[in-house]
Structure 1
């Protein structure tokens, strides 16, 4: 992908590399504070790997992490026939506080959604500020009968369908379906944090 230029500085969107995990966690702490680890969505992500090919970073010209986003495999309840509804959970999206308002987060979001669609996923859910995520097509119109395993403000539980009608009739609890992180990787991540 061609680099973006934000305030004269080049920023490139890339797949997250294994060596980015510690820097990613530090960026999340700077951008969101340590409470991001206690959020309801984190309970779904805990101990799981991001969906294949759907973990991205925006890297500044000096190689540092400017922003990060991951998407996770979930089931968004069941459909009216009792079948699980596969989907993705997005988050967290974090931008280096020094780059907020420069468009890096929006570019990263557009890239992540486009890749999810290209890979054949049907919908993306997230918990976030509706005024920010509405520009990417997210609304709470399809999440009313879907629940998360913890507290969440309903107007912040949003979804975008990548395939029209994908979430029609979806109801029930969101559950993680992604692969587990191996024990050695969990230990290495815990030590790095």
Structure 2
């Protein structure tokens, strides 16, 4: 495959149908049963932190971040899903989306990001495994895949408790 000319754009409401089809192709119907999906259910993503990747007019990748509340009221962001069309995987698209989204979150003064994912992949973006028992998700998750990243130094200090989706006023 020749080199790709990749364009990253902020997600718009018009992108939703194409993103839904991308999620369906990448994750299948089982995606609705995942713990991370339960946190996002009924919680709109933070569109100012969500991006799409296109090659020409074809949407080949998407990253979404949604608001969460941890413990007694610590705000955070749930990263995911990050989805790359299977035909375009291993071409740096996921990394480009991660960097753009994390930079946007930092610029908007967000403090803390959590996700469920592959630790070796996400460590290069500053993620580490959540210490056992520190945060509680609303369903089962492999503890080695439950990760966090501080967008501001020290933002994870003293944070503990259950994680739940948060609705943000428009």
Deviation at 1:7, TM superposition (A): 3.8
**Alpha-carbon deviation of 1:116?**
0.3
Among 21, 24, 36, the alignment partner of 1:26 is 21
2:67 and 2:77 in contact (8 A); partners too: yes
Q: CA RMSD in A?
A: 1.8
2:106 match: 117
* Poorly superposed stretches of 4+, deviation over 4 Å: 141-144
The question of 1:157 aligning with 2:146 is answered yes
Larger Rg: 1
Cα distance, 1:179 vs. partner?
A: 3.6
Extract unaligned runs of 5+ from structure 2: none
Asked if 1:169 corresponds to 2:146, the answer is no
SS of match in other structure, 1:65: strand
**3-state SS of 1:25 partner:** helix
Instruction: Indicate whether 1:58 and 2:68 are aligned.
Output: no
- Which residue number in structure 2 is paired with residue 184 of structure 1? none
1:87-144 CA-partner distances (Å, limit 9, x unpaired): 1000000101011100001000011001000000001100001111111111114574
Number of aligned residues: 170
The structure 1 residue matched to 2:66, chosen from 61, 65, 72, is 72
Q: Structure 1 length as normaliser, TM-score? A: 0.83
